[in-house]
Amino acid sequence: MLQPRQQQWESILQKTEMLHQLSTEENWQAMTELESERFGEIEIFFSTPVSETEVEEVEKGIRQMLKSDEQLKQYSVQKQQTMSDSVKKISTGRKAVNAYNDHKI
């Protein structure tokens, strides 16, 4: 059975993995809520200094989280750009329709 501190750390790492799944589902609301929970757990976890026996595992987990967060950031930027491009196309189409309607009269 895992010790309470190990359980805390495992919960943080599981939430990191869940964030990726939610991003593939494009469930932004759930991602925001989960990230907030994870951040709170990280604050609680690090309110107690990391012991020498935890250092290796925690370092590995931090590297994993940093890599994961960077991937999520890149994915979010790509999605934002795609959405921005779509909005621009809609705006251009709307302008074309309005111009057509103005000249139709």
Q: What is the pTM of this model?
A: 0.73
d(CA 83, CA 75) in angstroms, rounded, equals 12
> Which residues, other chains included, contact 66 with Cβ-Cβ below 8 Å and sequence gap of 6+?
none
Taking only the tens place, the pLDDT of each residue in 21-41 is 998 898 989 999 999 999 999
What is the pLDDT at residue 1? 44
d(CA 3, CA 9) in angstroms, rounded, equals 10
Structural domains of the chain, ranges and CATH numbers in brackets: 4-104 (1.20.58)
Taking only the tens place, the pLDDT of each residue in 77-97 is 887 787 777 777 777 767 767
DSSP state of 48: S
